[in-house]
Chains A and B, each alone.
Chain A
């Protein structure tokens, strides 16, 4: 028995898949930009969600307590997602952001348990974050390992390191009151983590949108060969993006440690998927086709509100995973559709 695969048939199949699909989807696509649906669809959906939940659960959802808890609960996710935005802009994946966050939480907790000055503890964690980013950069740029694989490996190494320094236990002793205050205060009755997020987002937004460095990240992500021939040091740009991701993830970890007052190897990993969902969903927002800071923030809070409302309505806890996983796939599908236009 033999199979016949003619090259002509292959060529035909290829041509068929290249052909733009016609019909209803195209009509919808054409009418979308007019409403601004493309760029601001996330904001519209967010408003719709708030209205629906507000009518459905007026007593529990429409409270300042809920607003505070969503804002604070999503702040760390948002910082990790923003950390991810930088390497994604430069065309590199960083799957180690959540593990870096987790290790940073454990490291700060461990240092607190050993009576280290709280400021020094945080600085050490940040330095380790930079180091992790630099090692990622070395692996990707010098060893030429695909960033997806390289940072996946780093993520596993960091998971191991987190178990090692905590001994697999939850570290709760020795947290300095000053550090806990820095993580739990509510200036102007807004949780302090939200203020940290605002600061990170503002600085990152400025860097990505208003400095040459930001332009370089996007240029390298768009076409590394063209960027190199236009005079950019592509390898350096990629390393820099991974170092920023490591630094911001470690910062998120330090803030989370201060907020929780504990460190455990289980803290970090659950942040990975929501961060990716938000970054990719964010790429369909505000500046369509590019990962960007404002879009990512919109996406984080869209996902956060969606999950929170369902939880208040009595949905089981796994709804969060369901929501984030679905959002990731839909976001990437939307982005793929946008790039086909």
Chain B
């Protein structure tokens, strides 16, 4: 294969969903043995591009994709694989209970002998060889679940590049380094270099700009479905890359500001979890403290820790009383009430009515002589359905019959009914349509006006800019910056991406 033939060449690729254009005439060219970073904000078209390459989406007619010089048939995952494209997603698609050898055989099957007996010795040897060539010495009989993440990634890559499906021209790595300690990341970057040195091209998708500068040769920046730049990494620095992503120049980031809100209600001191490291902050009555950070920054974990849902070290205090770890009930009794992210696994009681979902956290107001007075409960719920504008206002309907936005409002009603002192929101408008989002934001702001303290963790900078009074920026498990009003979504995004703007 000649060096002059690009591993991947994309010309004029477009994709629209209904009327919305997710990709507008994208052109990218990647040489063999090149590590090519793909960056852009959420919704910039990265994943649409990747899914168009993988055959998951069929792009609009007119675009051309060539892999190793050959035209790619669109909308067919088998064709993408046959053409030499490989995809390693963040979850890696491995089966934890199976050994390395067995995982490598997934998707291609074992070589079998007489009576369909598996030649285990040969299989193990082949698996060992494949991993050795990537620089990993792994006992291939061990179940995948016992391996470190970089080792697992190596197995996933070994499987992706197995010769079973022909020559590999390009591997797409979708956020492979999320949630990893530094040493693991370094090891993984070495792994990617080994692959590159074999002449395979890599598309590296990451929100961690420092990794991109360390690893990538070239970078393509997507914004609103268009390629705004495709350059050698050496020509850029972090600030100029962020400016390309956001499409405007960076302003100097504001420093800390003393809070003008009411008395402190919740104080976290030196809180640490799996990713979160030594985080301290105070939430005052009558303010919304936002938490921003990219995936893997510890933003989502912090929300779970402060709701009492997971084990932490350090102190979380309300009124000077320290709260026990991993005890959501104790947090709720102390007035710290959470609306968790991922409504379905974490909040919804399926096959239960709206009424039962709203009142489950505290049934004591309806209790007389040990029995629940259904009428008192019903009238209470009727008021809440009205206040939170939950539709249809049918409290005996099953929770599953409501739209996502209304279900989220039910969860908000469940929390607010307890008259919390601190409301903890984790992705408060995830999976909620735009109209209901504004409604949820209005409900939050009106409670804050009455003296509620809110801690809101969100991956949406727009959302934080709308509801928060100040925003703590997390990175690598720590709070590295704090922004205060006037908050702009772009500033929040920029701060989450920029490691150099640390003022703490």
Q: How far is the CA of A8 from the CA of B109 in the complex (A)?
A: 15
Query: Which of chain B's residues have a CB closer than 8 A to the CB of A17?
Result: none
CB pair B361–A231 under 8 Å, yes or no, is: yes
CB pair B362–A231 under 8 Å, yes or no, is: yes
Interface centre among A4, A210, A216, A229 (most CB of B within 10 A): A229
Q: How far is the CA of A41 from the CA of B356 in the complex (A)?
A: 26
Partner of A232, one of B109, B307, B329, B414: B329
Query: Which of chain A's residues have a CB closer than 8 A to the CB of B361?
Result: 230-232
Q: How far is the CA of A219 from the CA of B348 in the complex (A)?
A: 10
Q: Which of B333-351 contact A (CB under 8 A)?
A: 333, 338, 340, 345-351
Partner of A206, one of B78, B346, B364, B371: B371
CB pair B345–A219 under 8 Å, yes or no, is: no
A1 at the binding interface (Cβ < 8 Å):
yes
Given A2-B112, A222-B349: A229 and B307 within 8 A (CB)?
yes
A218 at the binding interface (Cβ < 8 Å):
yes
Interface centre among A1, A211, A226 (most CB of B within 10 A): A226
B198 at the binding interface (Cβ < 8 Å):
no
Partner of B109, one of A5, A219, A230: A5
CB pair B352–A218 under 8 Å, yes or no, is: yes
Q: How far is the CA of A81 from the CA of B347 in the complex (A)?
A: 30
CB pair A229–B112 under 8 Å, yes or no, is: no
Query: Which of chain B's residues have a CB closer than 8 A to the CB of A223?
Result: 345, 348-350
Partner of A229, one of B106, B116, B346: B346
B332 at the binding interface (Cβ < 8 Å):
yes
Q: How far is the CA of A320 from the CA of B108 in the complex (A)?
A: 50
CB pair B329–A219 under 8 Å, yes or no, is: no
B107 at the binding interface (Cβ < 8 Å):
yes
A233 at the binding interface (Cβ < 8 Å):
yes
CB pair A219–B351 under 8 Å, yes or no, is: no
Query: Which of chain B's residues have a CB closer than 8 A to the CB of A232?
Result: 329, 360-361
CB pair A8–B78 under 8 Å, yes or no, is: yes
Q: Which of B304-346 contact A (CB under 8 A)?
A: 307, 309, 328-329, 332-333, 338, 340, 345-346
Interface mask (A201-214 → B, CB under 8 Å = 1, otherwise 0): 00000100011100
CB pair A233–B329 under 8 Å, yes or no, is: yes
Say how far A100's CB is from chain B's closest CB, in angstroms.
Answer: 27
Query: Which of chain A's residues have a CB closer than 8 A to the CB of B106?
Result: 5
CB pair B346–A225 under 8 Å, yes or no, is: yes
Interface mask (B103-138 → A, CB under 8 Å = 1, otherwise 0): 000111111100010000000000000000000000
Query: Which of chain A's residues have a CB closer than 8 A to the CB of B108?
Result: 2, 4
Query: Which of chain B's residues have a CB closer than 8 A to the CB of A1?
Result: 111-112, 116
Q: Which of A152-199 contact B (CB under 8 A)?
A: none
Given A1-B112, A2-B108, A230-B414: A289 and B351 within 8 A (CB)?
yes
B367 at the binding interface (Cβ < 8 Å):
yes
Partner of A215, one of B329, B350, B372: B372
A308 at the binding interface (Cβ < 8 Å):
no
CB pair B347–A226 under 8 Å, yes or no, is: yes
B397 at the binding interface (Cβ < 8 Å):
no
Q: Which of B346-381 contact A (CB under 8 A)?
A: 346-352, 356, 360-364, 367, 370-372
Partner of A231, one of B110, B329, B349, B372: B329
Query: Which of chain B's residues have a CB closer than 8 A to the CB of A225?
Result: 345-346
Query: How many residues belonging to A are interface residues under a CB distance threshold of 8 Å?
Result: 30
A3 at the binding interface (Cβ < 8 Å):
yes
B362 (CB) vs chain A CBs: closest residue: A231
Q: How far is the CA of A339 from the CA of B333 in the complex (A)?
A: 34
Query: Which of chain B's residues have a CB closer than 8 A to the CB of A216?
Result: 360
Say how far B8's CB is from chain A's closest CB, in angstroms.
Answer: 21
Say how far A15's CB is from chain B's closest CB, in angstroms.
Answer: 13
CB pair A231–B328 under 8 Å, yes or no, is: yes
A6 at the binding interface (Cβ < 8 Å):
yes
CB pair A229–B347 under 8 Å, yes or no, is: yes
Query: Which of chain B's residues have a CB closer than 8 A to the CB of A50?
Result: none
Query: Which of chain A's residues have a CB closer than 8 A to the CB of B309?
Result: 228-229
Query: Which of chain A's residues have a CB closer than 8 A to the CB of B25?
Result: none
CB pair A227–B360 under 8 Å, yes or no, is: yes
Query: Which of chain B's residues have a CB closer than 8 A to the CB of A233?
Result: 329
Query: Which of chain A's residues have a CB closer than 8 A to the CB of B370?
Result: 211
Say how far B357's CB is from chain A's closest CB, in angstroms.
Answer: 9
Say how far B390's CB is from chain A's closest CB, in angstroms.
Answer: 17
Query: Which of chain A's residues have a CB closer than 8 A to the CB of B371?
Result: 206, 210-211
A7 at the binding interface (Cβ < 8 Å):
yes
CB pair A215–B111 under 8 Å, yes or no, is: no
Q: How far is the CA of A232 from the CA of B350 in the complex (A)?
A: 16
A218 (CB) vs chain B CBs: closest residue: B352
Interface mask (B26-41 → A, CB under 8 Å = 1, otherwise 0): 0000000000000000
Q: How far is the CA of A289 from the CA of B356 in the complex (A)?
A: 15
A240 at the binding interface (Cβ < 8 Å):
no
Query: Which of chain A's residues have a CB closer than 8 A to the CB of B346?
Result: 225-226, 229
Partner of A6, one of B78, B111, B328, B332: B78
Say how far B366's CB is from chain A's closest CB, in angstroms.
Answer: 9
Say how far B91's CB is from chain A's closest CB, in angstroms.
Answer: 13
Query: Which of chain A's residues have a CB closer than 8 A to the CB of B12?
Result: none
Query: Which of chain A's residues have a CB closer than 8 A to the CB of B307?
Result: 229
Q: How far is the CA of A289 from the CA of B110 in the complex (A)?
A: 43
CB pair A7–B107 under 8 Å, yes or no, is: yes
Q: Which of A1-26 contact B (CB under 8 A)?
A: 1-8
A1 (CB) vs chain B CBs: closest residue: B112
Query: Which of chain B's residues have a CB closer than 8 A to the CB of A218?
Result: 352, 356
CB pair B350–A229 under 8 Å, yes or no, is: no
Q: How far is the CA of A218 from the CA of B363 in the complex (A)?
A: 14
CB pair A215–B363 under 8 Å, yes or no, is: yes
CB pair A226–B77 under 8 Å, yes or no, is: no
CB pair B362–A2 under 8 Å, yes or no, is: no
Can you pick out 13 interface pairs between chain A and chain B where the beta carbons lie within 8 Å of each other? A7-B107, A211-B370, A211-B371, A218-B356, A219-B360, A229-B346, A230-B332, A230-B349, A230-B361, A231-B361, A232-B329, A233-B329, A289-B351
The 9 A-B pairs of least Cβ separation, nearest first, read A3-B109, A231-B332, A212-B363, A231-B329, A222-B349, A2-B109, A230-B361, A210-B371, A231-B361
| B residues with CB within 8 A of A | 77-78, 93, 106-112, 116, 307, 309, 328-329, 332-333, 338, 340, 345-352, 356, 360-364, 367, 370-372, 414
| A residues with CB within 8 A of B | 1-8, 206, 210-212, 215-216, 218-219, 222-223, 225-233, 289-290, 339
